[in-house]
Amino acid sequence: MTAQIIDGKAFAATVRGQVAEQVARLKSDHGITPGLAVVLVGEDPASQVYVRSKGKQTVEVGMNSYEHKLDADTSEADLLALIDQLNADPAVHGILVQLPLPGHLDEALVINAIDPAKDVDGFHISNVGLLATGQKSMVPCTPLGCLMMLRDHLGGLSGLNAVVVGRSNIVGKPMAQLLLRDSCTVTVAHSRTKDIQEVTRRADIVVAAVGRPEMVTGDWIKPGATVIDVGINRIDAPEKGEGKTRLVGDCHFDSCAEVAGAITPVPGGVGPMTIACLLANTLTACCRANALAEPEGLTA
Ligand code: NAP
């Protein structure tokens, strides 16, 4: 293996430390404690794990955590009423509605009911538009984490060729916007892209957000490129025993690491950065709500 491993777990710990430091300063200098409200509808096991983890890390950095667990059959009207209440609550600076929502609830309607200034997931249509037009916005956590790691590893990104594989609203598209904002030359590849390996082989930066286990292999990568693997896929691992599974990314780690200059592992790469960036976004929202300077190094 030749590639340097970009350690997202360690980076996320650093980001959380920076957030905690600034939260402590907000409390001592201004008597303000940032608050994050997380709304979970239903009992999806993966969502329950995420929400627990978010709550725990929120408290660990000194913020207030407000968890709202609603039954799977909660009506849209009741959910919207809760969001209205959180929008109006001055102790709540960030609101996150855990996705996916049960099928009877209109996700777009619910997300767009959140006050854009408290939309710490960055999914509200206003924030999407602000990001696309290069204005100050709340930025989706996963792409923000990828950007932070790229900036940290490469320094300036200006003029680099970046290929984002995947065009989802939560990862691919905002990632492309952020890279464009940092003056990369950006290509977005997707399931209809022709000769996709030719496209990625020209890239100084490859961000893979596809949801297909180990799809990107070493022969897709230009020697020395930086590879950010957003994918989280659970696959069978019979070598670990019957019925066992393991997590892999969208990149085939071993073959990519032979060619790349640097790569994020799965697990331990992008994943831990996502919650760290959620905390950073909550801090940013709190600073903006109180007309205070934005936290340095923690925004896009
Ligand atoms: P998504 O909404 O399913 O989007 C997948 C994208 O990949 C689509 O744009 C699709 O293209 C493209 N695609 C699918 N097959 C392809 C192929 N064969 N060649 C090229 N492109 C292909 O997924 P997502 O929500 O963006 O998530 C992507 C991955 O990131 C998943 O593994 C997810 O679990 C992971 N993820 C991780 C985090 C984290 O915190 N680390 C956060 C979010 C997501 P079309 O548009 O043409 O269909």
Strand, coil or helix: what is 189? strand
pLDDT of 2: 87
The rounded radius of gyration (Å) of the Cα atoms in the chain is: 19
Q: What is the mean pLDDT of residues 59-65?
A: 98
pLDDT at 38: 98
| Beta-strand relationship, 185-189 and 262-263 | unpaired
Nearest to 278 by CA among 46, 94, 136: 94
Reading the block at residue 130, the tokens are: 């602000």
Output the average pLDDT for the chain. Answer: 97
Q: How far is CA 66 from CA 102, 110, 114, in A?
A: 21, 18, 15
What residues are in contact with ligand 1 under a 6 Å CB criterion?
A: 142, 165-168, 170-172, 189-192, 196, 209-212, 230-233, 250, 270-271, 274
Residue 280's identity, in one-letter code, is A
- Separation in Å, CA 16 to CA 19, 62, 145: 5, 10, 12
From the CA of 273, give the closest atom in ligand 1.
40
Whether omega before 265 lies within 30 degrees of 0, making that bond cis, reads no
Looking at 47-51, 203-207, 216-220, which range is the least confident one? 47-51
Average pLDDT (101-120) is: 98
Residue 1 has pLDDT above 90, yes or no: no
Report whether pLDDT(230) > 70: yes
The pLDDT of 88-95, averaged and rounded, is: 98
Angstrom distance (rounded) from CA 41 to CA 92: 19
Short-list 174, 214, 209, CA closest to 190: 209
Which amino acids are annotated catalytic?
54, 98, 121
Ligand 1 atom nearest to 190, measured from its CA? 21
Which of 57, 191, 279 maximizes ligand 1 atoms within 8 Å of its Cβ, making it the mutation to test the pocket? 191
Q: What is the pTM of this model?
A: 0.97
Give dist(CA 113, CA 297) in Å, integer.
29
